[in-house]
Structure 1
Amino acid sequence: MNPGLWLVPIIGALIGWFTNYLAVKMIFRPQKPVVIPVLGLAIQGVLPKRKAEIARSLGEVVARELVDFDDVAAQVSDRLEKEDLINLLAGQANEAVVRSLPHIVPEPVKMIAGSLVGKIVQHQGYDLLMQFTGQAMEEMKKSVDIALLVEDKINQMDWEQLERLVLEVASRELKHIEILGGVLGFLIGLAQMAVAYLFN
């Protein structure tokens, strides 16, 4: 076998790796359209070119699939230290009643009234708390547009921020794509070498 034939898979691996390396880089760059003089063809990175469209799609996916206000309400409800919070509210209600009653009201009457209100809050506190949480979440559901929030946040990012964010999440996968290009190029080169050897 001609030793020079081994150059075929090696060159194939280099071409495959470089092609995928270039493809990965062109996800982010060039940030602005660059015109190739001879061809008159404008090239631009995928993210810069379609940033607004990607931002809108991501916003819709997050709002539809990831953020459910009912789940958020359930999480808030589960994480609230309900007993401590109700005791705190009852104590504050008691103090507020005592402070707000006029000076003409005897102190013992103030204390009784404050204690009574505190006990009512303590007794009804859980239901009131759940009702308040539910109402707050309903208002949030009506007034907060998650899709628009995500879309605006992505659109406000500059290119470097966006590139850094994507690389933090997918740098390993992108590196695997580059390596896979080299492996496939090498295998194709081996196949070409085998064909050349068989037909020589």
Structure 2
Amino acid sequence: MFYLISSFVGAIIGYITNYIAIKMLFRPYKAKKLGSLTIIPQGVIPKEKANLAKNVANVVQNHLLDKEELHKLITSDKFKTEIQNMISQKIDEFDMPNITEIIKANPQKIADSISDFVMQMISSKFPFATSLISENMIKNMVLENIDLLANKINAIFDIEKIIDKEKIKQNLQHEAIKFLENESYKVIENFEIGKVVEKKVNSFDERKLEDMLFSLMDKHFKFINIAGAFLGAIIGLIQAFVLLNLK
């Protein structure tokens, strides 16, 4: 019975000790002070957050997402296909402008532009007519017939025929692939992945950082706690054995 109790107590102590040790990696978030005297020091990870951010940034930039790997990713056939599909989809979704609606929505602006153009033509070609025709007359005439004007212009300029979507697709896709192949290294140089990662990690508050690391290491931390309990139980058995044999 003594062996069982000693082993049980040792297991509890081992489990709790390891649990507290793991928590002390993160807690307290800020050092507890009494005046200028530090009573409880800041947790290791919050204290070393800046160094942690730098180390994570170095690992990501130099080992996980180095320039060569990013270049391979950006110039891969799969990535190129995705870019081409995205360009094609966006152009297909693009609604052609309706000239009739544009003109009807901006009658005053259209009237001002047309009257200004007509008066310039009249004054340069037929200066004697400027005494008979005024700019206001032309403006009023345009405004009164804005619907007719809009329909006439729309009939003359068929946007669907003027703008060849397929040709635009091919040109944009070609230029996008050419840019990826020729300029990708310059783009990667401007990414500054390390700085982005470092800034992101530094922006995490202590609780978020703790939650993030626990979500990644939860199974491992549990194993450490169980291992502590197991070792504590063994130590308890050894202590019981020693005590009983000393009597």
What does 1:1-200 correspond to in 2, within 5 Å? 3-35=1-33, 42-76=40-74, 77=76, 78-81=78-81, 118=167, 129-200=176-247
From the superposition, tell whether residues 84 and 57 of structure 1 become closer, same or farther in structure 2 (CA, over 3 Å).
closer
Q: Are residues 18 and 84 of structure 1, via their aligned partners in 2, closer, same or farther at CA, if it must alter by over 3 Å?
A: closer
Deviation at 1:153, TM superposition (A): 0.4
Give deviations 1:60-91, integer Å, cap 9, x for gaps.
Answer: 11111110233233333323227767989xx9
Higher CA-based Rg: 2
SS, match of residue 215 in structure 2: helix
**Further displaced range: 131-140 or 146-155:** 131-140
Q: Give the partner amino acid of 1:181.
A: G
C-alpha spacing 1:12/1:85, structure 2 compared with 1 (3 Å): closer
Pair 63,184 (structure 1): closer, same or farther in 2 beyond 3 Å: same
Distance 1:131 1:69, change over 3 A: farther
- TM-score of the aligned structures, taking structure 1 as reference length: 0.70
CA apart distance, 1:142: 2.0
Maintained 8 Å contact 1:59/1:146: yes
* Alpha-carbon distance between aligned partners in 2 of 1:62 and 1:42, rounded to the nearest angstrom: 33
Amino acid in structure 2 at the alignment position of 1:137: S
Write the distance in 1 (CA, Å) between the matches of 2:13 and 2:34: 22
Contact 1:20 1:177 in 2 (8 A): yes
2-structure distance, mates of 1:138, 1:180: 48
Deviation by residue 1:11-37 (Cα, 9 ceiling, x = unmatched): 211111111010111111101112489
Contact 1:28 1:45 survives alignment (8 Å): yes
Paired residues, what number?
176
CA distance in 2, matches of 1:191, 1:141: 60
Distance 1:83 1:174, change over 3 A: closer
Report the TM-score, using the length of structure 2 for normalisation: 0.58
Rounded to whole Å, the distance in 2 between the matches of 1:85 and 1:159 is: 39
CA RMSD of aligned residues (A): 3.6
Mark the runs of 5 or more structure 1 residues left unpaired by the alignment.
92-110
Compare 23-32 and 132-141 and name the one that shifted more: 132-141
Q: Which residue type is aligned with residue 14 of structure 2?
A: G
Q: After superposition, give the CA deviation of every residue in 1:1-58 in whole Å (9 maximum; x if it has no partner).
A: xx33432222211111111010111111101112489x96542111111111111111
Counterpart AA for 1:51: K
1:65-121 CA deviation, whole Å, 9 max, x = no partner?
Answer: 110233233333323227767989xx9xxxxxxxxxxxxxxxxxxx9xx99xx5xx9
Question: Partner amino acid for 1:69?
Answer: K
Matched residue type, 1:151:
E
Report percent identity of matched pairs: 30
How far has the Cα of 1:176 moved from its partner? 1.3
CA contact (8 A) 1:69 1:141 kept: yes
